[in-house]
Structure 1
Amino acid sequence: MNARIDPSPLLPTLADIEAAAQVVYRDFAATPQYRWGLLSQRLGTDCWLKHENHTPVGAFKIRGGLTYFDQLAQRGALPQEVISATRGNHGQSMGWAARRHGVACTIVVPRSLLKAF
């Protein structure tokens, strides 16, 4: 049996990815990449690491918030306020992007997370 599986319509196309990159690069430059010599030596191949901690919030997740709010803005569907529950960097992404678009943002975190600090 030779079954063909069609790509999910939910997966982004190359054009989607390129458009998202343009949205992200309006707010900050591409994060740096560095060749790591010792790791390259141990793996037996060139190994380049991309430093996603070099974003305004210190995490790659900022991209999701920026592209989400950009899509809402393009459709004329920006809300007055957003509320998001998170245990991590997603909240920073939502807060950053909401501020960029003049949208109020409330981030809810679990109490157990606050006790960890």
Structure 2
Amino acid sequence: MRKSLSLLAVGAGAVLTLGLTGPVAQAQDAGAGLDVLAAQDVPCSTGVSESDYLEGYADCTNNTAGPVEFRVNIGCGLARDVSSEWVRLEPGQGAQAVAGCPPWSTGIVPGGVSAEHRAV
């Protein structure tokens, strides 16, 4: 009986292994990461405006072969965090996105300005 259970467990393991390496798993792997952009493909510099401590910006350039979108995200102290609208960049193009914290916030938190990008 013990030997039968052992063989059954080995057989079940083989079935599971075959299931994970079948066509469905391969199709999922093939599609993984198609819309993933590396940071060097869309380099961005971010910062806080010199004239307004409530305003943050991201300057980005599209070094890919297709269009991308980016936006700036800002952490606003005691107020709700904000994001700019998405800005579309064609290949080789650069632009700036700006967003501001509300006047009742305590300002942008340290390290609170980041850029986010995605393929279009």
Q: TM-score, structure 2 length as denominator?
A: 0.23
Whose strand proportion is higher, 1 or 2? 2
More contact order relative to length (CA 8 Å, sep ≥ 6): 2
Q: TM-score, structure 1 length as denominator?
A: 0.23
Whose helix proportion is higher, 1 or 2? 1
